[in-house]
């Protein structure tokens, strides 16, 4: 689209796209997904007391859930409608509270009586008449417009006067002041003012003076003269000089201006003389179409297809378009191919796809450059596609291992004593022997699926002594041959002769067949260790070894001692019961009776509890013989003893007082 002046309809469409955005976008950003919805639900979760914050935050929650398609939370819906109804019915609610309450009711469809809206409209009209604050005018006019959109008959009396009151706060550079007492102007306030003016036009009972509309259009042009740009050509609005408490960031400020200009363009006739390159530059910060890759790792072995998704920012389907792969760059930014290839479109899965085999790319990291073109010309005024989109991918494949050999040499000249071919893809059982004057040599060659030399990120050769002491050697990825000179390593090997198991590990993120293989063993003969030679480190003990099976213990128990006859045991048990029998006989001989049992209720209760406590003690003795141990019995007996002392003292005190009264009588 060429730079120039845009008609109001085109400007409106482009700005409307920008107004629906929530953040700067790039080709690497994914559209709104369940993860975003989950994050929104967590962000607007209820506090521990069950509340969702003030009325403004509640509106932000319900509106965000509506835009993202989050399933309505019954608790939030109930709380939101309750708060909205309270604010609408309250005589002390501010214009801001009423503004958000009406919008909550509109989003959720809360059941509010028509008369309540009439009262709210009357309050808001009174605020408009008495205030000179831009924000109060904005909230009041916005609230009236929301009520009108719900089907109520709302007309703003003396709309021209309100229009002039808002216009009086404008400045020569297109910015606005928040009230007549403000010394500084604000870009954010300009967007608020334009929205308020659009509400005035919508609520007016007659046409606003066309000359005033033209003046505001000229203010919009001046406002766009203050627009700023990033190095990539993205335009944005920012504040100039405002108080720190009133400062808004570039995204918030730009969104405010876009909403304001969009609202005013929707109600004003004629053209907005805004340069096209500024509209497009501003739209770049809010690109509505997103190109993304469902997967960025591709396998040459599996012959994966390159798949591309193009959606709107909220994840809905994009209009008919073409996606072309125009360039492939290597990890070093070297151009691999510049032949443009159009991706095929799968209608069922809504993805564009391309086979990667014809691209002749090898394993490794690549940058793919895409271009998007809309198929329908009329969509160019609705969707912003931006420039080229670059995506980074990673290609994996099977790496071929050739010419793998391991052997022992006598010197650097290469006099080889023994060499054996190996297949690192399989465990081997090579048997080698060497002394400290010889060298271990290992050589192999790795190649990619396209036959190029492959340099893996990690190659390790491990020698593990029979005493569990390990030695790890890093093999340079670019080396085709690697050697270990034992003469210079005898001290590192702690002069330990004997058998060493050999293991080779080769790994790389692009290598699908990374491996760790046993190569065999090496019998190494090293000289005797001198007196001050370093000792091998103590081997780590497996912390889980203590949970393993223990050594079986063999033990012969001694034969049990001879027990007395059963009759003798029964006789002894009978003897232990004799004192209890004697106790019962003594009670009978003494003529136990209840004549002295307290007749009054309170002393009778204590006397009953005292006897029950004695019974509990006797029962505790029985349990001691049958089930309880000594310490448990003493613990229970201590509580019973305190209880018996208390109730027994009260019962005996009563008997003592009664006895004293009888003696004195």
3-state secondary structure 517-553: EEEEEEEEECCCCCCCCCCCCCCCCCCCHHHCCCCCC
Strand-pairing partners, residue 460, are: 474, 505
Largest distance between two CA atoms of the chain:
133
CA–CA separation, 223 and 193 (whole Å)? 12
CA atoms within 13 A on the CB side of 556: 2
The answer to whether 351 and 309 are in contact (CB under 8 A) is yes
The count of other CB atoms within 10 Å of the CB of residue 567 is: 8
**CA nearest to 315, candidates 352, 288, 348:** 288
Q: And the tokens for 236?
A: 């944005």
The predicted structure's pLDDT at residue 20: 39
The predicted structure's pLDDT at residue 616: 92
Q: And the tokens for 227?
A: 């627009």
The count of other CB atoms within 10 Å of the CB of residue 544 is: 7
Task: Please measure the distance between the N-terminal and C-terminal CA atoms of the chain and give it in whole angstroms.
Answer: 125
Domains of the chain: 155-286 (1.50.10.20), 289-396 (2.60.40.1080), 400-529 (2.60.40), 585-664 (no CATH)
State phi, psi for 430 to the nearest 5 degrees.
-70, 140
Give the strand pairing for 341-342 and 321-330.
antiparallel
CA–CA separation, 97 and 455 (whole Å)? 66
The count of other CB atoms within 10 Å of the CB of residue 603 is: 19
CA–CA separation, 395 and 356 (whole Å)? 10
Which DSSP state fits 430?
Answer: E
Sequential DSSP letters for 337-387: E---EEPEEETTTTEEEEESGGGT--SEEEEEEEEEEESSGGGGGT----S
CB burial string 71-93: b at 16+ within 10 A, e below: eebeebbebbbebbbebbeeeeb
Residues with pLDDT less than 70, the chain: 1-33, 72-73, 232, 240-247, 276-277, 279-288, 313-315, 380-382, 384, 386-387, 411-417, 477-479, 592-595, 665
CA–CA separation, 653 and 656 (whole Å)? 5
CA–CA separation, 654 and 384 (whole Å)? 100
The answer to whether 378 and 391 are in contact (CB under 8 A) is no
The answer to whether 162 and 200 are in contact (CB under 8 A) is yes
CA–CA separation, 539 and 546 (whole Å)? 16
List all residues 6 or more positions away from 241 whose beta carbon is below 8 Å from its beta carbon.
184
CA atoms within 13 A on the CB side of 56: 6
The answer to whether 172 and 138 are in contact (CB under 8 A) is no
Q: And the tokens for 434?
A: 């060497």
CA–CA separation, 455 and 445 (whole Å)? 9
CA–CA separation, 370 and 290 (whole Å)? 12
Element (H, E) at 160: helix 159-167
The answer to whether 166 and 197 are in contact (CB under 8 A) is yes
The predicted structure's pLDDT at residue 250: 82
> In 72-194, at which residue ranges do the beta strands (DSSP E only) sit?
none
Q: And the tokens for 90?
A: 């309250």
**CA nearest to 96, candidates 115, 76, 130, 124:** 124
The predicted structure's pLDDT at residue 637: 92
List all residues 6 or more positions away from 451 whose beta carbon is below 8 Å from its beta carbon.
none
List all residues 6 or more positions away from 574 whose beta carbon is below 8 Å from its beta carbon.
none
CA–CA separation, 520 and 500 (whole Å)? 9
Per-residue pLDDT of 620-631, as tens digits, reads 988 988 888 989
CA–CA separation, 641 and 650 (whole Å)? 14
The answer to whether 21 and 252 are in contact (CB under 8 A) is no
Helix, strand, coil percentages (3-state) for the chain, rounded to 5, are 40, 20, 35
Give the strand pairing for 297-299 and 389-396.
parallel
Stated length of the chain: 665
Q: And the tokens for 85?
A: 């109804």
CA–CA separation, 198 and 159 (whole Å)? 11
List all residues 6 or more positions away from 369 whose beta carbon is below 8 Å from its beta carbon.
325, 326, 327, 328, 329, 388, 389, 390
The answer to whether 497 and 490 are in contact (CB under 8 A) is no
The count of other CB atoms within 10 Å of the CB of residue 13 is: 17
Sequential DSSP letters for 301-323: TTTPEEEEEEEETTSPBPPSEEE
CA–CA separation, 148 and 159 (whole Å)? 15
pTM: 0.50
The predicted structure's pLDDT at residue 525: 93
Which DSSP state fits 595?
Answer: T
The predicted structure's pLDDT at residue 275: 75
Q: And the tokens for 178?
A: 């928040």
State phi, psi for 118 to the nearest 5 degrees.
-65, -40
């Amino acid at each position: 689209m060429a730079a120039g002046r845009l008609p109001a309809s085109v400007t409106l469409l482009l700005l409307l796209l920008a107004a629906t955005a929530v953040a700067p976008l790039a080709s690497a950003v994914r559209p709104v997904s369940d993860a975003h919805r989950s994050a929104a639900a967590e962000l607007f979760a209820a506090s521990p007391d069950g509340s969702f914050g003030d009325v403004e935050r509640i509106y932000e929650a319900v509106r965000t859930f509506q835009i993202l398609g989050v399933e309505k939370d019954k608790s939030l819906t109930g709380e939101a409608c309750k708060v909205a109804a309270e604010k609408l019915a309250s005589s002390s609610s501010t214009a801001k509270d009423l503004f958000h309450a009406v919008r909550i009711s509109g989003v959720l469809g809360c059941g509010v009586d028509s008369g309540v809206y009439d009262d709210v409209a009357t309050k808001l009209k009174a605020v408009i008449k008495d205030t000179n604050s831009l924000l109060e005018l904005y909230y009041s006019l916005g609230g009236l417009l929301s009520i009108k959109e719900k089907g109520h008959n709302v007309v703003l009396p003396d709309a021209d006067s309100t229009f002039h009151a808002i216009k009086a706060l404008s400045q020569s550079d297109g910015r606005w002041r928040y009230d007549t007492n403000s010394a500084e102007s604000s870009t954010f306030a300009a967007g608020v003012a334009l929205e308020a003016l659009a509400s005035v036009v919508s609520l007016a009972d007659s046409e606003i003076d066309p000359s005033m509309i033209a003046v505001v259009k000229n203010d919009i042009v001046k406002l766009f003269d203050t627009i700023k740009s990033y190095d990539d050509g993205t335009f944005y609005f920012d504040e100039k000089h405002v108080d720190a408490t009133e400062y808004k960031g570039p995204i918030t400020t730009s969104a405010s201006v876009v909403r304001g200009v969009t609202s005013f363009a929707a109600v004003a006739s004629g053209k907005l003389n805004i340069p096209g390159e500024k509209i497009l530059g501003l739209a770049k910060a809010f690109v509505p179409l997103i190109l993304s890759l469902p997967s960025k790792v591709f396998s040459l072995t599996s012959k994966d297809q390159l798949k591309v998704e193009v959606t709107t920012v909220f994840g809905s389907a994009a209009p008919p378009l073409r996606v072309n792969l125009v360039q492939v760059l290597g990890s070093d930014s070297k151009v691999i191919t510049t032949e443009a290839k159009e991706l095929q479109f799968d209608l069922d899965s809504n993805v564009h796809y391309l086979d990667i085999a014809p691209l002749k790319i090898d394993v490794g990291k690549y940058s793919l450059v895409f271009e998007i073109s809309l198929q329908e010309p009329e969509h160019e005024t609705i969707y912003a596609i931006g420039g080229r989109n670059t995506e980074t991918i990673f290609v994996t494949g099977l790496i071929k291992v050739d010419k793998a050999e391991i052997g022992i040499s006598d010197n650097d000249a290469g006099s080889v004593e023994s060499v054996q071919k190996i297949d690192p893809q399989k465990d081997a059982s090579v048997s080698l022997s060497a002394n400290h004057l010889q060298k271990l040599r290992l050589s192999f060659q790795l190649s990619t699926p396209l036959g190029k030399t492959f340099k893996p990120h990690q190659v390790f050769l491990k020698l593990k002594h029979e005493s569990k002491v390990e030695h790890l050697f890093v093999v340079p990825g670019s080396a085709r041959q690697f050697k270990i000179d034992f003469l210079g390593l005898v001290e590192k090997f702690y002069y330990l002769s004997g058998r060493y198991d050999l293991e080779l590990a080769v790994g790389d993120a692009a290598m699908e067949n990374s491996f760790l293989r046993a190569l065999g063993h090496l019998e190494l003969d090293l000289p005797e260790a001198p007196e001050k030679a370093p000792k091998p480190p103590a081997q780590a003990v497996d912390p889980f070894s203590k949970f393993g099976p223990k050594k079986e213990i063999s033990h012969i128990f001694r034969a049990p001692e001879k027990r007395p006859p059963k009759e003798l045991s029964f006789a002894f048990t009978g003897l232990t019961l004799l004192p209890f029998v004697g106790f019962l006989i003594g009670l009978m001989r003494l003529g136990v009776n209840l004549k002295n049992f307290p007749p009054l209720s309170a002393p009778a209760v204590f006397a009953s509890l005292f006897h029950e406590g004695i019974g509990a003690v006797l029962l505790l003795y029985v349990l001691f013989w049958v089930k309880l141990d000594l310490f448990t019995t003493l613990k229970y007996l201590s509580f019973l003893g305190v209880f018996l002392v208390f109730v027994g003292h009260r019962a005996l005190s009563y008997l003592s007082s009664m006895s004293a009264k009888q003696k004195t009588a």
